[in-house]
Amino acid sequence: MEAALLLLLLLLMEAVVGTKPAAELTQSGGPNAPLAAASTTGALYQSPNEALQAVREDYLYWTAKLTDTSLQLSYAVIAANWAAFGSVNELLTSVWSKLSVGLVIVGLGLSLAGAKWMGELHRTRIDYAETNGSRWKAEFTETAGKRDPWPFTRVIESLGRAMREAKTWLPLIAGVLFLIALVRR
């Protein structure tokens, strides 16, 4: 039991710390990026667009980190269940362990299906833009400066939010279920 818990903790630490080389980070570099040189006015950013770009880059960094960490934690939960129970037959004797592994599998399946769906929704937006360039430009002008999902859609935004929630909570709940299985073993 101690070995399984130690394995889970080591895998969790690896998931949180990550191993992405610095060269793969976005220009803003995420939370550990050095501060940009201050301008003559003392401002960190030279324009609102530059500040918005920094927010966007960090958003992309953190959502990519969420995907990586979620996948790593999912693998860690499966490995910890395997290490604690030793075989499929033993694993299947614990309802908590079955729920833990099952939730990880559901999470991975939802992630795969969501990625496929998201790709198709984006392809549809590309087709939409390419079929009528003047309409695309008019929509840009109409939505500029407003809280509007354009150039995306409300479905794309909602699916993205749902996928982030699933990638956060399903592996965490699966980990808690594993810990319950380990204690009740």
Rounded Cα distance, 45 and 170, in Å: 37
b/e map 83-116, b = 16+ CB within 10 Å: bbbeeeeebeebebbebbbebbeebbeebeebee
* Confidence band of 18 (pLDDT split at 50, 70, 90): low
Rounded Cα distance, 166 and 158, in Å: 12
Tell if the pTM clears 0.85, that is, is over it: no
Half-sphere exposure of 156 (CA within 13 A, CB side): 14
Sequence-distant (6+) residues with CB within 8 A of 107 are 70, 74, 166, 167, 170, 171, 174
Q: What is the mean pLDDT of residues 53-78?
A: 96
pLDDT digits (tens, 9 = 90+) for 140-162: 999 999 999 999 999 999 999 99
What pLDDT shows up at residue 14? 62
Q: Which two tokens stand for residue 175?
A: 């980990």
* Confidence band of 80 (pLDDT split at 50, 70, 90): very high
